[in-house]
Structure 1
Amino acid sequence: MAWLHSWSGLLVCWVLLLVFCAGTASYFKDEITLWMQPELHRSAATQVSSADAAGRAVAYLQRNAADSPRWFIDLPDARNPAVSVLWMRPPGAPASGIGGGRGRFESRTLDPATGAFLQAVRDTRGGEFLYRLHFDLYFMQAIWARWIIGFCAMFMLVAIVSGIITHRRIFQDFFTFRPRKGQRSWLDAHNATAVLALPFHLMITYTGLVTLMFMYMPWGIQTAYQGNQQAFNNEAFGRAPQGKPSGQAAALTPVAPLVEQAVRHWRGAQPTRVAIMLAGDANATITVSRGTEGSLSANAPSMRFNGVTGALVAATGDAPGAANQTRGAMVGLHEAHFAGPLLRALFFVSGLAGCAMVATGALLWGVKTRQGQAKALAAGARPSFGLRLVDALNLGAIAGLPIAFATYFWANRLLPVGMPHRPDAEIHAFFIAWSVAAVLAQVRPTRTMWRVQLWAGALMLAAIPVLNAFTTQTHLGVTLLQGQGPAAVAGFDLTVLALGIALGAAAHVLGRRAKARMPAQRSVPAKDIGMPSSDAKGAA
């Protein structure tokens, strides 16, 4: 079990670290998006009913996307102050080059109070990029990325279970930390971060697999529905098949009364999305979907109306079956949409503990392997290929990822607001910064490089609030000291500041212990002294 725990964790730990980091940030993806669109900070305090916001959004779509067969409207809520509209361009229609959108879709951000296009708002994928990175990765097809993530998640589940079996004194070890004891210190740190949020680690790994269960285990559905996935979706989730245009023009019924009817049906629960198919056609339909806030289940009830008469066609999801509700609860636990700010903060802290657990586990493998090669290294030999590779991958992932995240936020503030393809430029900045850190780690995986990259990440993260003060009017002096502006903006600034200070403390401790070790290691070439060294008591 110890062997299984070590190798099932090591082989995928660097991908898992990216998944944990991006997934942890995703608990506040709406707040991250709001921070990355400072032009919306003033409108965050505007209170507009869902019905009014939907009516104004439909009016905008009728003026600007009348020939589109599909409209989607994301309504404002407590975490997202703006209205987002998305529509499909007709076949052959060119992209406008205005606003956002991907593929055949166009998107706009609207003022909920007026329905006007907020042209001055910078285009960004914000927290949505980090959310998608968590399970879709990037630069590859989503289907392959999800198979990779599922493979790594299964290894993670094996590592957690085998780790519980291996550590017989796991809860006793949680209260034990022996500093400056080399390998023992790294093991204590790994045990503490693992046990601190052990229920969370088990839940988040298993439910992560459940979110994509229909892709990983499709055989039951294929057999029961004879390969008709759409029929399964219609029956299990109440999804209506895509209608066909009748060719007969018909005026779209007002949407605001339908939204109000849905709110009454759900006893005050607010809708989050309105989907309109075939607007202007006699076969038009309007679907109003409820949000999942306040509900453990991720299944969102919906009401479908006739788009011409406004008559209710179907209400789905109000009383799902037991199996559907069980899956919905597991997906809801994973996404935590039900959680309020404090509970999401607890999920965030648990996610950080997961990041630390993966990182310390990877470093512990290097420490143990280096200890086995201590005599050869002391005699001037080079580390083995496997040890050097793991040291470099650890450095590129553990110290490089904070640099990449910080670069993403810096790019959001420094790139020109009207720059074409601006969201892609921000994302490319993320990967360029990470690639540079990873390449430098492969070239020189030394203690010095650890300190350089840790300090770089620390300074870049800690300086984000300062950057925000120079580029916006909603800095900490306003949001925190004066109590004005969105609290989410102040929370973001304080969080990245705290993370920067933590990285800086790690870099400082590493540098101080490196100086203390220097007299005893003058005979060892500097290039062979990686960060995870345990041949002296100060390694941890």
Structure 2
Amino acid sequence: MAWLHTWAGLWFSWLLFAVFLTGSLAVFSEPITHWMTPEHQEAEALAAQKESVPVDRARRFELAVDYMTRNHGGAGMWEIWPVDRFHDNGLTAYWFDKNGMYADADLDPDTGAELDDHHEAAGRATLGGSHFVDFHYTLHDANLGLWIVAFASMAMLVALISGVVTHKRIFKDFFTFRARKGQRSWLDAHNAVAVLTLPFQFMIAYTGIVISSAALMPAPIAANYGAGPDAARRYLAEMEGEETLVRSGIAQAVPALEPIVAHGERLIGQTARAIVIRNPEDSSMRIGVYGWNEDADTFRSISATTGMAEFSASGELLRLRPPGGVLGGAPSLARQVMSDLHMAKFGGLAIKWLYFVCGLAGAAMMGTGAVLFMVKRRARHGDEFGGATARVYRLIEGLNVAALAGLAIACIGYFWANRLLPAALENRAAWELRGFFLIWALTLVHAWLCSPRRAWIAQLGLLSALCLLLPLLSFATLGDHPYAQIARGDWESAGVELGALAFGVLSGWAALHVWKRPASAPSRRKSRANEEAAA
């Protein structure tokens, strides 16, 4: 078990550290996106003001239905967002295209005309916080990357279980921390962050695998539903209790939607977010009214499903789902709860902060484990790889620096790229992403060119400088700063920059600590190893 914990933990610790660090940042992906799109902040403020302005929703429904009838009459599904909070409270329509994929169009709420792709306020193109979301579970490769992360998650579960078995005094040691004791201190730190967040670590790894089960275990779905994206959609629809509708071939116009939607809102107790029309313009059509989850709704249930009421074309109620409920029974509810547990879609800001802190603790668990491996090997001069042991150890030391400090530098470098790249640069979002990976690659080269101690000091120092100077960069490029952000109530932007300052102070302290600590002499390492072996 000790061997399994050591080697399974080591070879996946670098990737899992990246998953946990970027996953922690993904918890606040929306504030990060807000900070990275400063040109849109004024538009967001205006959109928030528009929420209190009444709109002629019945008119918007008429315009949307008319647009869909003229342009997408053969689609199997129409979806109308009469007041789209994500697009300045505008009017948005969705449908299934000929390939069975989602397509969408923003419509002018006054005329129903389709708006072009440049109708929103001009600003810098960026992936924003979604970069961290996508990276932490697919590595920006939805096929191979998803499998790699899933395999690493399985290895994490193995390392967690074997770690509990191996450290017989793990809970007792949790209450003991021996500072400045070399290997003992690293082990105490590793145990502390692991035990403190052990339930969270199990939950986040397991649910991460489960919510991707349709992609990771495709054989049962293919055997019963065939291949292709439509097969997975039919499988999930059946699990979630969706009735398969067959077109009757009898034409029937879409009825007036406003009375049906108003009735649905009263039944579910929520404001209508989306109206989904299946088999439109056919007598078999179904009209589903889906609600908006308000902040208060997330405190009542772990499941983040919204309320839903489905009607026939004549306005007869066919199905009703309360907020937080499901229609597919236990399997559907289990899948929904697993998903929302992983994505922290409940509990509001308090749960987000809890996930953020626990995620960073998970990253610290991976990081301290990787460093502990080398601290132990330096003391004991292991010979696991024969004549190549020294070269393998040097490789691992370089990977430790680049995977831990280097990744953090790449993350803050991503923020710097957002401010430094010209707003009108072609393929700007792609260049921000390239900057992230380029910086990370350079830290790896640096870690192998320098001695480990110098690499740690240099990279932790650079990380501290980049974090501490981020607010100054915003001031130099935009004239904005945390004090002004707080004054105007922009806590999302202020939170990003204040968080960068906090990480800057922490990484600066770490760099100073490594710099002040002299390199250990061989005789001292050997003596300490003998003392620990005797103990």
TM-score range, shorter chain: 0.7 to 0.9
Q: Deviations over 1:414-465 (max 9, x none)?
A: 2222333222222111111111112222333521121111111121122222
| Letter aligned with residue 387 of structure 1 | Y
**Residue pair 2:238, 2:328 contacting (<8 A) in 1 also:** no
Measured in 1, the distance between the counterparts of 2:201 and 2:298 equals 23
Alignment of 1:471-490 (within 5 A): 471-472=477-478, 475-480=481-486, 482=487, 484-490=488-494
TM-score (normalised: structure 1) = 0.78
Matched position secondary structure for 2:51? coil
Aligned pair 1:493/2:479, yes or no? no
| Letter aligned with residue 173 of structure 2 | D
Aligned pair 1:336/2:341, yes or no? no
Aligned pair 1:132/2:134, yes or no? yes
Alpha-carbon deviation of 1:506? 0.6
Q: Deviations over 1:504-527 (max 9, x none)?
A: 1111111111xx34xx75x99xxx
**Cα separation, partners in 2 of 1:242 and 1:193, compared to 1, 3 Å:** farther
**Residue pair 2:173, 2:191 contacting (<8 A) in 1 also:** yes
Give the structure 1 partner of residue 413 of structure 2.
407
Alignment of 1:294-443 (within 5 A): 294=299, 295-303=301-309, 314-315=319-320, 318-373=326-381, 384-443=390-449
Alpha-carbon deviation of 1:4? 1.1
Give the structure 2 partner of residue 235 of structure 1.
238
**Cα separation, partners in 2 of 1:263 and 1:129, compared to 1, 3 Å:** farther
Give the structure 1 partner of residue 298 of structure 2.
293
Q: Percent identity?
A: 34
Give the structure 2 partner of residue 100 of structure 1.
none
Aligned pair 1:502/2:510, yes or no? no
Measured in 2, the distance between the counterparts of 1:177 and 1:188 equals 5
Matched position secondary structure for 2:298? coil
TM-score (normalised: structure 2) = 0.79
Give the structure 2 partner of residue 266 of structure 1.
268
Alpha-carbon deviation of 1:71? 6.1
Give the structure 2 partner of residue 180 of structure 1.
180
Give the structure 2 partner of residue 36 of structure 1.
36
Matched position secondary structure for 1:417? coil
Alpha-carbon deviation of 1:401? 0.9
Q: Deviations over 1:133-161 (max 9, x none)?
A: 111112x3x12222111111011001111
Alpha-carbon deviation of 1:243? 8.7
Give the structure 2 partner of residue 198 of structure 1.
198
**Cα separation, partners in 2 of 1:61 and 1:327, compared to 1, 3 Å:** same
More helix by share: 2
| Letter aligned with residue 463 of structure 1 | L
**Cα separation, partners in 2 of 1:121 and 1:391, compared to 1, 3 Å:** same
Measured in 1, the distance between the counterparts of 2:109 and 2:152 equals 41
| Letter aligned with residue 504 of structure 2 | G
**Residue pair 1:278, 1:285 contacting (<8 A) in 2 also:** yes
Alignment of 1:445-456 (within 5 A): 445-456=451-462
**Residue pair 1:286, 1:305 contacting (<8 A) in 2 also:** yes
Alpha-carbon deviation of 1:74? 10
**Residue pair 1:41, 1:485 contacting (<8 A) in 2 also:** no
**Residue pair 1:57, 1:85 contacting (<8 A) in 2 also:** no
Give the structure 2 partner of residue 46 of structure 1.
49
Aligned pair 1:11/2:11, yes or no? yes
Measured in 2, the distance between the counterparts of 1:311 and 1:55 equals 19
Alpha-carbon deviation of 1:81? 7.3
Give the structure 1 partner of residue 20 of structure 2.
20
Measured in 2, the distance between the counterparts of 1:111 and 1:402 equals 44
**Residue pair 2:239, 2:331 contacting (<8 A) in 1 also:** no
Give the structure 2 partner of residue 512 of structure 1.
516
**Cα separation, partners in 2 of 1:231 and 1:46, compared to 1, 3 Å:** same
**Residue pair 2:36, 2:128 contacting (<8 A) in 1 also:** yes
Measured in 2, the distance between the counterparts of 1:271 and 1:534 equals 67
| Letter aligned with residue 400 of structure 1 | G
**Corresponding residue pairs, total:** 500
| Letter aligned with residue 440 of structure 2 | W
**Cα separation, partners in 2 of 1:311 and 1:188, compared to 1, 3 Å:** same
Matched position secondary structure for 2:129? helix
Measured in 1, the distance between the counterparts of 2:27 and 2:446 equals 31
Measured in 2, the distance between the counterparts of 1:179 and 1:35 equals 38
| Letter aligned with residue 453 of structure 2 | R
**Cα separation, partners in 2 of 1:72 and 1:336, compared to 1, 3 Å:** farther
Measured in 2, the distance between the counterparts of 1:149 and 1:206 equals 12
Measured in 1, the distance between the counterparts of 2:107 and 2:439 equals 29
Q: Deviations over 1:114-144 (max 9, x none)?
A: 9993222433221122111111112x3x122
| Letter aligned with residue 331 of structure 2 | A
**Residue pair 1:53, 1:75 contacting (<8 A) in 2 also:** no
Root-mean-square deviation (CA), in Å? 4.3
| Letter aligned with residue 512 of structure 1 | K
Measured in 1, the distance between the counterparts of 2:160 and 2:256 equals 54
**Cα separation, partners in 2 of 1:174 and 1:471, compared to 1, 3 Å:** same
Measured in 1, the distance between the counterparts of 2:135 and 2:56 equals 30
Alignment of 1:55-204 (within 5 A): 67=71, 117-138=119-140, 140=141, 142-204=142-204
Alpha-carbon deviation of 1:469? 2.8
Measured in 2, the distance between the counterparts of 1:311 and 1:51 equals 28
Measured in 1, the distance between the counterparts of 2:54 and 2:308 equals 15
Q: Which deviates more from structure 2 when the two are superposed, residues 412-421 or residues 282-291?
A: 282-291
Matched position secondary structure for 1:11? helix
**Residue pair 2:447, 2:455 contacting (<8 A) in 1 also:** yes
Alpha-carbon deviation of 1:473? 5.8
**Cα separation, partners in 2 of 1:218 and 1:464, compared to 1, 3 Å:** same
